[in-house]
Amino acid sequence: MVALVKLDEGPLVTAQLTDLDGAPEIGMRVEMVTRKLRAEGEEGMIVYGYKFRPCLSKAGCAG
């Protein structure tokens, strides 16, 4: 699922949501996590990127 995430600093970013237990809600607090996006071949380069998940703690969350 893709969402617009408004960072506490102000900008909006388009990002994938991950680790959702239910439907996302407008205004829910999220935090950035690093996830594996793809691997190029069995012994190739692994590409990582950022996604957002529901907050596990109050620190470091964006809304």
**pLDDT tens over the chain, length 63 residues:** 899 999 989 999 999 999 999 999 999 999 999 999 899 887 889 999 999 999 987 665 766
Amino acid at 23: A
The reply to whether 10 falls in a domain is yes
The reply to whether 32 falls in a domain is yes
Residue 34 is part of which domain span?
Answer: 2-54
Count of structural domains, the chain: 1
The reply to whether 61 falls in a domain is no
Q: DSSP assignment of 13-42, as one string?
A: EEEEB-S-SS---TT--EEEEEEEEEESST
The reply to whether 38 falls in a domain is yes
Kindly list the distances between the CA atom of residue 21 and the CA atoms of 1, 7, 34, 45, 54, in Å, as whole numbers in the listed order: 13, 22, 19, 31, 9
The reply to whether 25 falls in a domain is yes
> What pLDDT shows up at residue 62?
64
The reply to whether 63 falls in a domain is no
pTM: 0.76
